[in-house]
Amino acid sequence: MTFLDLGLDRQILRRIADIGYTNPTPIQEKAIPLVLMNRDILACAQTGTGKTASFTLPMIEILAAGQAKARMPRSLILEPTRELAAQVGESFDHYGKYHSLSKALLIGGENMNEQVKLLERGADVLIATPGRFLDVFNRGHLLMADVRILVIDEADRMLDMGFIPDVEKIVATLPPMRTTLLFSATMPNEIKLLSKQFLHNPKEINVTPPATTATTITQHLVMARTNVLEQKTVQKIKRDTLRKLIEQQAVKNALVFCNRKRDVDIVFRSLHRHGYSAARLHGDMLQNVRINTLKDFKENKVRFLVCSDVAARGLDVKDVSHVFNFDVPVNADDYTHRIGRTGRAGAKGHSFTIATQQDRKYIDAIEKNIAMKIPVFETPFTGCNSRNQSSNKSTQGSSQKKNCVGQTKSKKNEGKQTQSKKRQESLGKEPVIGLGQHVPAFLMKNMK
């Protein structure tokens, strides 16, 4: 099937041809005709499958016939993060080159007055995060009676971030006669229940089983025996492992995911200190800084982007060669979204997950979720790697403990013995019994 078979108008097909697209992805093939028919949709598709274009392209055609009034948007797209909202806005600009649609973004971290001015001019497309939408609506700057299309994107992420109560409030402000499109990378029971509340007789689309990973991604698990070390040492070993993986692999560019914002800063500084071109991205940064940082990474001005899960969902960066999970994600679904930043649009990608024995339960949950074992990547620079360390406690475990940790302890003991010997030689005789190595200098003079 080609885009010519989907029923899109001539101007959109012209723009698609300009871009160089010929064949729609499975989600686009199934969703676009249904949206043009004004059908409600409940769609489950893994990340990187062209989901944004599957609702953007038909929306442009539908909204082309008409004009928005002041403060009365004609469509609403809800996104869980500012970055996703901005990216969808870019898609409308990209695909709607030959249409004169107006759009407005309502996202946090930006000047609200400037956003309200855009609404007063009229917006065919309103793209918003839930919190900022409710803030603007409660101030009386929005009238939602003209909304024809509602898109709830990344619904499972909305659920994880606690936005569902806000989404329910927003949906209550909309007219009942509308087309509602709900997209989600996974389909937990909570999302299915919400679909019954928001959608009317929806057409279900499943292009891939939930939580599957793209076949274009080669996955690796790097296990490091660090469970008996203190946390500070564990983090240092993981940073060393990350740098050695980067040196060993042909890394064009990469996303490095950490679970905590504090670790994002630490890993960023570590890479920068060792001469790597790196930047950081997390939720506590100013919005304009986040946008500029992401832009620099997309334009290859920065080679490594160390980030929190704010970058795990939906962000479309072309030709990312590698994803490194510096921390194993606690939520199994987040693993799928993180590594989905590489291997997009048919390109090949690689993911490396650095784990310790404390992460074993999270690895088990991930492997159960994706229905496969992640192959262990044996490295020459971590001699203590093993998937089954916990099961070989009697012999292998004890020897590995000696090799991995005993060496460190023995070196410390050797150092102490050397210092003690030098101390004794400087005193000129054996230490006085009872005083150990702490004999005051004036006593030693009297004893000579």
In tens, the pLDDT along 226-239 reads 655 677 788 899 99
Name all contacts of 419-428 with Cβ < 8 Å and 24+ positions apart.
Answer: none
Please provide the average confidence, as pLDDT, over all residues in the chain: 84
Instruction: Mark whether 221 and 121 lie in a shared domain.
Output: no
Residue 301 lies in a domain: yes
Residue 177 lies in a domain: yes
Report the C-alpha gap between 371 and 210 in whole angstroms.
Answer: 10
Determine the average pLDDT of the residues in 400-419. 44
Token couple for 289? 């800084």
Q: For 130-143, what is each residue's pLDDT tens digit?
A: 999 999 999 999 99
Radius of gyration of the chain (CA): 28
Question: Shortest CA distance to 427 belongs to which of 417, 440, 418?
Answer: 440
Q: For 248-304, what is each residue's pLDDT tens digit?
A: 998 999 999 999 999 999 999 999 999 999 999 987 887 788 888 988 998 999 999
Report the C-alpha gap between 289 and 395 in whole angstroms.
Answer: 52
Token couple for 417? 């013995």
Q: For 147-193, what is each residue's pLDDT tens digit?
A: 999 999 999 889 888 899 999 999 999 999 999 999 988 788 888 88
pLDDT at 430: 47
Report the C-alpha gap between 149 and 66 in whole angstroms.
Answer: 13
Residue 428 lies in a domain: no
Instruction: Mark whether 198 and 288 lie in a shared domain.
Output: no
Question: Shortest CA distance to 40 belongs to which of 186, 232, 182?
Answer: 182
Please state, for a pLDDT cut of 70, what percent of the chain lies above it.
81
Residue 288 lies in a domain: yes
Determine the average pLDDT of the residues in 336-351. 86
| 224 pLDDT more than 90 | no
What is the domain count for the chain? Answer: 2
The stretches of 64-208 forming alpha helices (DSSP H) are 82-95, 112-121, 130-138, 155-160, 164-172, 189-198
Q: How many helices (H) and strands (E) does the chain have?
A: 17, 13
Band the pLDDT of 392: cuts 50, 70, 90. very low
Instruction: Mark whether 354 and 248 lie in a shared domain.
Output: yes
Instruction: Mark whether 250 and 131 lie in a shared domain.
Output: no
Instruction: Mark whether 139 and 270 lie in a shared domain.
Output: no
pLDDT at 303: 96
Instruction: Mark whether 170 and 228 lie in a shared domain.
Output: no
pLDDT at 211: 62
Q: Which of 206, 241, 270 is the last residue of a domain?
A: 206
pLDDT at 43: 94
- Domain limits at 161? 3-206
CATH number for the domain harbouring residue 326:
3.40.50.300
Report the C-alpha gap between 444 and 439 in whole angstroms.
Answer: 7
Instruction: Mark whether 117 and 69 lie in a shared domain.
Output: yes
Residue 321 lies in a domain: yes
Determine the average pLDDT of the residues in 382-403. 41
pLDDT at 42: 95
Higher-pLDDT residue of 137, 391? 137
Residue 430 lies in a domain: no
Q: What beta strand segments (E) does 4-130 contain?
A: 41-44, 75-78, 103-106, 125-128
Kindly report the number of other CB atoms within 10 A of residue 214's CB atom.
21
Instruction: Mark whether 161 and 247 lie in a shared domain.
Output: no
| 72 pLDDT more than 60 | yes
Higher-pLDDT residue of 47, 7? 7
pLDDT at 344: 79
User: Residue holding tokens 């005993």?
Assistant: 406
Residue 396 lies in a domain: no
Instruction: Mark whether 197 and 224 lie in a shared domain.
Output: no
Instruction: Mark whether 30 and 114 lie in a shared domain.
Output: yes
Question: Shortest CA distance to 237 belongs to which of 251, 223, 221?
Answer: 223
Higher-pLDDT residue of 146, 49? 146
Q: Which of 206, 229, 245 is the last residue of a domain?
A: 206
Instruction: Mark whether 279 and 168 lie in a shared domain.
Output: no
Residue 443 lies in a domain: no
Sign for the CA dihedral angle at 237, 242, 244, 248 comes to positive
Instruction: Mark whether 246 and 125 lie in a shared domain.
Output: no
Band the pLDDT of 433: cuts 50, 70, 90. very low
